[in-house]
Amino acid sequence: MSSGFTDYLCRDLLLAYRRPGEAASPLVFFIMVCTLVPLGITPESARLAEIAPGIIWVMALLATLLSTDSLFASDYQDGSLEQLLISPQMLSMPVLGKITAHWMVTGLPLTLASPVLGVMLSLPAQGYMPMVASLALGTGCLSLIGAVGAALTVSLRKGGLLLSLLVMPLYMPVIIFGSATVQSAIDGFAWSGPLAILGAMLAAAIALCPIAAAGALRLTSIN
């Protein structure tokens, strides 16, 4: 494909495959932090079940946030980002390819690992399907929104902490509907409503975020 989407998707997946330790760290973070919750709050399964949807969602958000920092960083350091910027392609397609690769490396493993954490935090049985579905859509949103923040801060030396400050308020709608999906399934309501809104957010983010990220890269990384 000439748009550069598949090229950058494959390239970033290959890079992640060559550095498996780096790619696995968000997942390890996710699992370890969820282990801290029973230690910090209570090991009682009734109370854990109450807070499990929220905890899993918050931790997934933090794990994604931690990894967003590296989305453009290595490309910026070795100069390949500049090459991408001066190439004749429309910049947003390669950027979307990179974001998709980022989701496949962080969001997708988190989604697949979440049922295990659900068991550990004694999530009620009817919550598993909605949790996996909402995390699959929601982490996509998180990667896309995070990419805008990563593009804005890529040229800063200590952008990591700033990135989380910028992106956190934009994440709030996602976490609201993500945990609402799981919660309403547990309470016995239909959970398709919040999930559909999450899907709508993902669609809007796919359309808008790559353009915003491409603009941010163009405007801020060339000084």
Partner 1 sequence: MNWLTNWSPSWQWFHRLGSPRWFYQTTGRWLPWLSLLTLVLLGTGLVWGLGFAPQDAKQGNSFRIIYLHVPASFLALAGYYIMAIAGAIGLIWKMKLSYMVMKSAAPIGAALTFLALFTGAVWGKPTWGTYWVWDARVTSMLILLFLYLGVLALQYAFHSNEAGNRASAILALVGTVNIPIIYKSVDWWYTLHQPATIKLTSAPSMHPDMFQPLLVMILGFYCFYAVTLCLYTRAEILRRERKSSWVKELVVKGQKS
31 or 162, CB closer to partner 1?
A: 162
Q: How far is the CB of 14 from partner 1 (least distance, A)?
A: 30
123 or 217, CB closer to partner 1?
A: 217
List CB contacts of 219: < 8 A, sequence separation 6 or more: none
Q: How far is the CB of 134 from partner 1 (least distance, A)?
A: 14
Structure token pair of residue 17? 């495959």
109 or 199, CB closer to partner 1?
A: 199
Q: How far is the CB of 117 from partner 1 (least distance, A)?
A: 22
Q: How far is the CB of 70 from partner 1 (least distance, A)?
A: 18
72 phi, psi to nearest 5 deg: -110, -5
53 or 109, CB closer to partner 1?
A: 53
Q: How far is the CB of 91 from partner 1 (least distance, A)?
A: 14
140 or 159, CB closer to partner 1?
A: 159
Report CA 217 to chain centroid distance, whole Å: 19
129 or 166, CB closer to partner 1?
A: 166
From residue 127, give the alpha-carbon distance in Å to each of 106, 107, 174, 197, 219: 22, 19, 18, 18, 43
Specify the length of the chain in residues: 223
Contacting residues toward partner 1, per CB under 8 A: 148, 152-153, 155-156, 159, 162, 165-166, 168-170, 172-173, 176-177, 180, 183-184, 197, 201, 208, 212, 215-216, 219-220, 223
Q: How far is the CB of 140 from partner 1 (least distance, A)?
A: 16
